[in-house]
Amino acid sequence: MNKRSWLCLVVVVAVVLAGAAPASARQKHHKRRAAKHHYLPRVVVPSRMIPPAEPPQGPYASALLVDSVGGKVLFARSAEDPRPPASMVKMMVALLTFEALERGDVRLDQMVPISLAASRTGGSGVMLKAGERLPLDDLVRAMLVASANGACVAIAEAVAGSQLAMIERMNGRARQLGMSKTQYRTVNGLPPRRGKGLPDMTSANDQAILARKLLEHPSVLRYSAEPVMSIRNGTVKLRNTNHLVGHMDGADGLKTGYYRQAGFNLTATASRDGLRLIAVVMGCPTLQARFQVAQQLMEWGFANFAKLNLVGAGEPLSVEVRVANGSRESVRPVAAENLSYVVRKGEAKDLHVTFQLPTVVSAPVAKDQALGEIIVHDQSRVVDVIPAVSPVDIGAERYGTQTH
């Protein structure tokens, strides 16, 4: 046998042995590959940058910047255009999970069985094994920090019973929130296989609506604000796919998303000096671009806007309302909730707060009963209205005699 024949024989034997390698060896190989996939290349994110004079014009397909409390739009471009969110779908899974936790339907220490479907889910993951059980807390960490697709499947099965049931809940919740351009078809944002079927769809505006609702559950930041978290009793480290976290001053969430047809997406949030901003960028061409655009948007927002705290919840107003036939002659209404407004810096003088209250009310009056309104308006329009309420119960009484 000549040298070339021996070489061919060696290659054939090597191929056969590789195919016959034990399952454990193949699993270790896949784990090594998954680990390389999981740790995305780092990008340069400065703590702060010189704010741009204007919001960035690209590169992206759509972008939006809003304040988190009032939802005031500070910048928008193509924000209503439907686009695939990719893994930003997981924000809705997170919202439904936190709502289920509040209802007591599930617990964070609950051990969740890993199904075959969850273990076989492609894309980014944390190597789930069919039949094992993990705490729900570990799965939420894997979903929000490492964007683990299989973890989403396991969470959906724990919260709703199945992926299909969870998708139905996701779409129902989107309709309740007014997310008019959103249609969920998966629980993790993976693209249709081989081009069959339709992808999940949303818009930058809908993502901002979802982000604002999700931030009403402060525990989400316990996950999304950490650059690195661990699961499996500290034996597995997860690095946050959102590279703004741990680098940009004030950045603490929320979720990345990517596959080739969707481009690089990001719903980001940061807080400084009492002002929390939400930036959504979709369809960026590179990993670096999505973080750079989101940071530029928020740096521009922090440089040009400020949050004014106009009235605090429970704060007494400067006027009184007379009480007819009551156990007291008058009551000073209080604000039912905090009233703040985001304005361009230097434009605070254009805001005015007025009260719309009756001269007299009749007893009985219940604590927290609405007595009128606190109105904020600028030079041209009403920008916000909250109730003015009674701080106490006032019984009906006349001449010291309680009426019945």
User: So which residues are the catalytic ones?
Assistant: 87, 90, 147
Contact predicate 241/183, CB 8 Å: no
Q: How far apart are CA 300 and CA 257, in angstroms?
A: 23
Please, which residues bridge with residue 268 across strands?
254, 279
Amino acid at 103: R
Contact predicate 321/333, CB 8 Å: yes
Find the distance separating the first CA and the last CA of the chain, reported in whole Å.
115
Identify the DSSP state of 31: H
Name the token pair of 364.
């009985």
Helix axes of 90-103 and 149-160: crossing angle, nearest 10 degrees = 40
Spatial CB neighbours of 78, under 8 Å, sequence gap ≥ 6: 61, 62, 63, 204
Contact predicate 357/335, CB 8 Å: no
Q: Which helix (H) or strand (E) holds 74?
A: strand 73-77
Q: Which helix (H) or strand (E) holds 307?
A: strand 305-311
* Residue bearing tokens 């051990």: 111
**String of b and e for 74-103 (b: at least 16 CB within 10 Å)?**
bbbbbbeebbbbbbbbbbbbbbbbbbbbee
* Residue bearing tokens 């609405």: 370
Amino acid at 392: V
